[in-house]
């Protein structure tokens, strides 16, 4: 399938592009060239550390070249083709990401938790031809997803890393040996084409895809590295999924662009992280979501661990409750930086050495001087005064102007003059002459489960495929560690057997929905509450489940006493 980006990407207006270039933010180079330049510039320094490799920039560049050259001979993929990634944190993921860019392919990020449904829908939406999968992940689960997608024609080419490929798939090792010692062709992508597709937490409905363009995506990562002052002495420990926007735009790319090192942990288990902190002495530890930071706080080894190498402890991705922020600052002794970010672009970060009211209560200020951050009354589109609650709207040199292939949705999600209406609620705080922002809820129907997003509408639509259900609403319920989990309120048809958490999970699994999206509580009702304009009132349901949880925790604590 060939899909023209020109028809599906909302471009940045010419005057904005001219400004970003004149100010040196956009530099007229592709993402691939920018990253290759970095590898050439920092040859003997350590670029990547995983449990299996410790590579210099030159080592990494050689692997990347082999992959790019091997793709040309071992597959029939062509520059511009989209390649989906369903990979964990491995050296192969880094090589294939950079190698794909080098070969002119367009990486599409998916989550390892996704099932065949999500990956298949996404493949169709972006017109992906290939899928790179990690054979040894989750007991071979990803391999099954890939095999199914090839069998039903959703994907033409599967590439399997770290295990033998199945029949009809190509091995990652096969690609590497085909390309070893061969110089890859030079590919010059059009800068206004999509460089990378990122999955967005989105505003509403089925997940939306953020098309990240070459110059803005490079700038996003450079601005992040600059905001944190990264240099070739920086060592970043990254224990969270790399193939997220945060992993790519805030860890891998800014590390490479600054000649720093990335220590890629296979997962966020705290013992493993503490071992890596002792062995590698990282200077920067981004922990998105706060759930991992909370586990770190509560782990028995933490209080005796030497965390002094870490001069930046960056936490965000989800609202950081005040008491957790205090504990992180007081108990861990690592300089805390809060951040807010999104696959659509925009990043906020608290400055170093900020006063308590900034670092504990806000997510900081935008990282680029040309970022435009507003807090707006969503009904009137007018800015609200400092301190008042409104919707966060943003625009700037690395914030997308529209989702990919989504004109109708874009009309609602972006203002006429190109501001992204994030669906997040927050406040502007004017402190010492600078605007800082806090995030205080949201108006979009998205549940943020440990930063993995669940779109209420997607789950509701699948629930309603069971004809025993008359109406369904999936809302967030508070969780002390993950932040939020999903709760389903259901109205069953007369005489139907009511769903339980287990039977609802079975029903959703039969539709291929990823498990993290399954509701973890089910409430059966005779009807669902409506707002005064006759629409489903999710707020009433969120309040109701919060009250139920509170009452249950009180009765548990009485029972324990
Ligand atoms: P994603 O597009 O998956 O990166 O998710 C972006 C969304 O995560 C934002 O629109 C917010 O809803 C949420 N988010 C990110 N950072 C924070 C934060 N520091 N506090 C509250 N919510 C956040």
476 C-alpha to center of ligand 1: Å?
Answer: 15
What distance in angstroms lies between residue 493's CA and the mean position of ligand 1's atoms? 37
- What global pTM score does this model have? 0.93
Do residue 401 and residue 479 come from a single domain?
no
Does 2 have pLDDT greater than 80?
no
Residue range of the domain that includes 230: 218-442
CATH code of residue 510: 3.30.300.30
Predicted local distance difference test score (pLDDT) of residue 479? 93
- Give the β-pairing of 128-134 and 106-109: unpaired
Residue 495: its pLDDT value, please?
Answer: 95
Question: Quick check: 380 pLDDT over 50?
Answer: yes
13: in domain: no
- pLDDT, tens digit, for every residue of 196-253? 999 886 555 566 899 999 999 999 999 999 999 999 999 999 999 999 999 999 999 9
Q: Which of 232-241, 259-268, 292-301, 366-375 is predicted with the least confidence, judged by mean pLDDT?
A: 292-301
Say if CB 555 and CB 489 are below 8 A apart: no
Tokens matching residue 369:
């001087």
Say yes or no to pLDDT of 373 above 60.
yes
536-560, pLDDT tens digit by residue? Answer: 899 999 999 999 999 998 887 777 6
**CATH assignment of the domain containing 67:** 3.40.50.980
Does the CA dihedral 27-31-32-36 come out positive or negative? positive
Same domain membership, residue 495 and residue 411: no
Lowest mean pLDDT among 114-123, 349-358, 361-370, 486-495: 114-123
Q: Residues 111-135: what's their mean pLDDT? A: 93
Q: Whose CA is nearest to atom 22 of ligand 1?
A: 318
User: Are residues 465 and 554 both part of a single domain?
Assistant: yes
Pocket-testing residue among 240, 324, 420, 451, ligand 1, by greatest number of atoms within 8 A of Cβ: 451
Give me ligand 1 centre to Cα 227, in Å. 19
As for ligand 1, residues whose beta carbon falls within 6 Å of it are 200-201, 245, 316-319, 340-343, 363, 422, 424, 439, 442, 448, 453
Specify the ligand 1 atom closest to the Cα of 392: 10
Residues 230 and 338 reside in one and the same domain: yes
Bridge partners (DSSP) of residue 483 are 449, 479
pLDDT for 1: 40
Are residues 464 and 363 both part of a single domain?
no
Cα 127 to chain centroid distance, Å, stands at 21
- Residue 198 in any domain: the answer is no
Angle between helices 214-228 and 31-41 in degrees, nearest 10: 40
Do residues 286 and 265 touch, judged by C-beta distance below 8 A?
A: no
Does some domain include residue 49?
no
Q: Is the domain of 403 the same as that of 494?
A: no
For residue 212, tell me if it sits in a domain: no
Q: Is residue 36 part of a domain?
A: yes
Short-list 174, 146, 150, 172, CA closest to 161: 172
Is 227 in the same domain as 359?
A: yes
Domain assignment present for residue 470? The answer is yes
Q: What pLDDT shows up at residue 333? A: 86
Same domain, yes or no: 250 and 337: yes
Q: Which residues of 91-129 are buried (b: 16+ CB within 10 A; e: fewer)?
A: bbbbbbbbbbbbbbbbbbbbbbebbbbbbbbbbebbbbb
163 plus 59 within the same structural domain: yes
Query: 341: CA distance to ligand 1 center in Å?
Result: 6
Please write the tens of the pLDDT for every residue from 283-342.
Answer: 999 987 778 888 999 999 999 999 999 999 999 999 888 888 999 988 998 999 999 999
For residues 241 and 180, membership in a common domain is answered with: no
Tell me the CA–centroid distance for residue 69 and ligand 1, in Å: 37
Pick from 439, 446, 449, 454 the residue to mutate for probing ligand 1's pocket: most ligand atoms within 8 Å of its CB.
Answer: 439
Residues 118 and 262 in one domain: no
Of 442, 460, 482, the last residue of a domain is 442
Neighbours of 136 (CB within 10 A): 14
Ligand 1 nearest atom to the CA of residue 363, by list position: 19
Ligand 1, residue 315: give the atom nearest the CA: 19
Token digits of residue 256: 């490479």
448-483 tens-digit pLDDT:
998 889 999 899 999 999 999 999 999 999 998 899
Evaluate whether residue 514 is within a structural domain.
Answer: yes
Among 3-7, 167-171, 315-319, 341-345, the least confident range: 3-7
Ligand 1 atom, smallest distance to 344 CA: 2
Given pLDDT bands bounded at 50, 70 and 90, which one contains residue 44? very high
- For 82-92, how does the pLDDT look when each residue is reduced to its tens digit (9 = 90+)? 999 999 999 99
Residue 202 lies in a domain: no
Per the CB < 8 A criterion, the answer to whether 129 and 284 are in contact is no
245 lies in the same domain as 356: yes
Kindly state the helix (H) or strand (E) to which residue 194 belongs, with its residue range.
Answer: strand 194-199
Number of domains present in the structure of the chain: 3
CA of residue 266 to ligand 1 center, whole Å: 23
């Amino acid at each position: 399938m060939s899909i023209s980006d020109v028809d599906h990407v909302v471009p940045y207006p010419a005057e904005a592009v001219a400004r970003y270039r004149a100010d040196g933010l956009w530099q007229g180079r592709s993402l691939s060239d920018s990253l290759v330049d970095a590898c050439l510039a920092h040859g003997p320094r350590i670029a990547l550390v995983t449990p299996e490799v410790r590579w210099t920039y030159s080592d990494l560049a050689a692997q990347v070249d082999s992959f790019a050259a091997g793709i040309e001979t071992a597959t029939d993929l062509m520059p511009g083709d989209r390649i989906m990634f369903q990979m964990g944190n491995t050296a192969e993921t880094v090589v294939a990401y950079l190698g794909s860019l080098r070969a002119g392919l367009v990486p599409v990020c998916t989550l390892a938790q996704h099932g065949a449904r999500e990956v298949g829908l996404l493949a169709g939406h972006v017109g992906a031809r290939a899928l790179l999968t990690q054979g040894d992940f989750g007991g071979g689960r990803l391999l099954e997803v890939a095999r199914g997608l090839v069998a039903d024609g959703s994907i033409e080419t599967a590439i399997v890393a770290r295990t033998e490929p199945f029949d009809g798939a190509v091995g990652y090792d096969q690609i590497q040996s085909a390309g070893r010692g061969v110089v890859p062709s030079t590919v010059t992508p059009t800068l206004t084409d999509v460089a990378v597709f990122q999955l967005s937490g989105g505003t509403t409905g089925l997940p939306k895809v953020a098309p990240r363009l070459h110059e803005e995506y490079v700038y996003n990562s450079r601005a992040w590295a600059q905001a944190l002052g990264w240099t070739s002495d920086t060592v970043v420990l990254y224990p969270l999924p790399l193939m997220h926007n945060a992993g790519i735009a805030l860890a891998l790319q800014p590390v490479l662009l600054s000649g720093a090192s990335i220590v890629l942990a296979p997962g966020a288990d705290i013992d493993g992280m503490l071992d890596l902190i002792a062995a590698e002495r990282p200077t920067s530890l981004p922990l998105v979501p706060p759930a991992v930071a909370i586990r770190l706080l509560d782990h028995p080894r933490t209080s005796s661990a030497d965390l002094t190498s870490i001069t930046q402890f960056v936490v965000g991705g989800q609202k950081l409750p005040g008491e957790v922020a205090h504990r992180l600052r007081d108990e861990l002794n690592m300089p805390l930086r809060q951040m807010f970010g999104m696959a659509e672009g925009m990043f906020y970060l608290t400055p170093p050495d900020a006063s308590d009211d900034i670092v504990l209560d806000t997510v900081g200020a935008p990282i680029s001087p040309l970022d435009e951050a507003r807090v707006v009354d969503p009904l009137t589109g007018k800015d609200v005064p400092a301190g008042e609650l409104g919707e966060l709207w943003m625009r700037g040199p690395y914030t997308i102007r529209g989702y990919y292939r989504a004109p109708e949705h874009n009309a609602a999600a972006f203002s006429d003059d190109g501001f992204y209406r994030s669906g997040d609620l927050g406040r502007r705080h004017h402190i010492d002459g600078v605007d800082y922002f806090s995030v205080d809820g949201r108006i979009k129907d998205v549940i943020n489960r440990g930063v993995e997003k669940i779109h209420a509408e997607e789950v509701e639509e699948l629930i309603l495929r069971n004809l025993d259900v008359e109406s369904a609403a999936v809302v967030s319920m508070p969780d002390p560690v993950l932040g939020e989990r999903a709760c389903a309120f259901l109205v069953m048809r007369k005489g139907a057997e009511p769903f339980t958490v287990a039977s609802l999970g079975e029903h959703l699994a039969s539709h291929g929905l990823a498990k993290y999206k399954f509701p973890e509580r089910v409430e059966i009702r005779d009807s669902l509450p409506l707002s005064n304009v006759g629409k489903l009132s999710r707020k009433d349901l969120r309040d109701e489940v919060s009250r139920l949880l509170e009452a249950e925790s009180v009765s548990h604590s009485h029972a324990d006493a």
